[in-house]
C-alpha cells in the first residue's frame, strides 16, 4: 500500500530530486554560470511541486465553459498563479546574477570560482 502511494505521488518525488540537485549544484559547482543554472533547477523543482499540489487527475483548466458536461472537475488555479509570480522572481534573480557574473569577468577574466578566490 505504501509503495502504491509513492507511485501515485511521483511528481512530488521528482520535484524533491530536482530541488536537491539544484542545491547541490549551487553549493558544489565551481563554474559560476553552472551555479546560476543550479538556481533555476532548484526553482523548477519547487514550481513542479506547486503545480502537482494544484492538479487533479482528469481535471480541466479552470475556465467556465457551458459546453463542458455537468460535474466536471476544475483544477485549482491558485498554485498556477503563484508559480507565475515565482517564475518572474526567479527570472529577475537569474538576470541579476548573470549581470554580476559579467562584471566579475571584467574584473578577473575568469568565471571559475577558485581562480577568483586565488586572484583576490
Partner 1 sequence: MQYLEMLPFLLILLPLCICFVMPMFARWKSEVCPYLALGATVLALIMSVMLTVQVAGGELLSYAAGGWLPPWGIEIFIDELAAMMLLLLCGTCLFVLLFSYRSLPKEIPPPAAGWYYTLFVLTLAAMMGMTVTNDLFNLYVMVEIVAIGSCGLVVAKGERLSTEASLRYLMLSTLGSGFLLFAIAFLYQVTGNLNYPYVATELLRVGEDYPFLMWATMSFFTVGLGVKAALFPMHIWLPDAHSSAPSPSSAVLSGLVVKVYIVAQLRIYFEVFGFDVFHETYMRYLILFLAALAMLGGSLFAFVQLDLKRRLAYSTVAQIGYIFLGFGLGTVWGIKIALLHIIIHAFMKICLFLSAGAVYYQTGRKKVTHFSGLGYQMPVTMAAFTIASLSMVGIPLFGGFITKYGLALGSLEADNPYFVVLIVLSGLLNAAYYFPIIWQAYFTSGAEMKFFMDKVPVTMLIPIAIMALGVIYMGIFPGSILEFLERYVLRYLL
Interface contacts to partner 1, rule CB under 8 A:
19, 22-23, 26-27, 32, 35, 39, 42-43, 46, 49-50, 53, 79, 82, 85-86, 89, 92-93, 96-97, 100-101, 103-104, 107-108, 116, 120
Nearest distance from C-beta of residue 65 to partner 1, angstroms: 23
How far is the C-alpha of 113 from the C-alpha of 54, rounded, in Å?
39
Closer residue to partner 1 (CB): 28 or 68: 28
How far is the C-alpha of 80 from the C-alpha of 84, rounded, in Å?
6
How far is the C-alpha of 48 from the C-alpha of 87, rounded, in Å?
11
Closer residue to partner 1 (CB): 33 or 68: 33
Residue labelled with grid coordinates 509570480:
85
Closer residue to partner 1 (CB): 68 or 100: 100
Distance of CA 44 to the CA centre of its chain: 1
Nearest distance from C-beta of residue 69 to partner 1, angstroms: 26
Nearest distance from C-beta of residue 63 to partner 1, angstroms: 18
Contact assessment for residue 83 and residue 51, using Cβ atoms and an 8 Å cutoff: yes
Nearest distance from C-beta of residue 50 to partner 1, angstroms: 5
- Alpha helices by DSSP H, 55-111: 77-108
Amino acid at each position: 500500500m505504501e509503495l502504491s502511494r509513492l507511485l501515485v505521488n511521483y511528481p512530488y518525488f521528482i520535484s524533491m530530486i530536482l530541488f536537491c540537485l539544484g542545491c547541490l549544484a549551487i553549493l558544489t559547482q565551481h563554474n559560476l554560470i553552472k551555479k546560476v543554472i543550479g538556481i533555476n533547477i532548484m526553482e523548477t523543482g519547487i514550481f513542479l511541486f506547486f503545480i502537482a499540489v494544484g492538479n487533479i487527475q482528469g481535471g480541466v483548466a479552470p475556465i467556465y465553459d457551458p459546453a463542458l458536461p455537468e460535474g466536471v472537475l476544475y483544477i485549482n488555479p491558485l498554485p498556477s498563479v503563484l508559480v507565475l509570480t515565482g517564475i518572474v522572481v526567479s527570472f529577475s534573480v537569474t538576470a541579476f546574477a548573470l549581470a554580476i557574473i559579467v562584471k566579475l569577468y571584467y574584473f578577473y577574466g575568469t568565471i571559475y570560482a577558485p581562480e577568483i578566490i586565488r586572484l583576490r
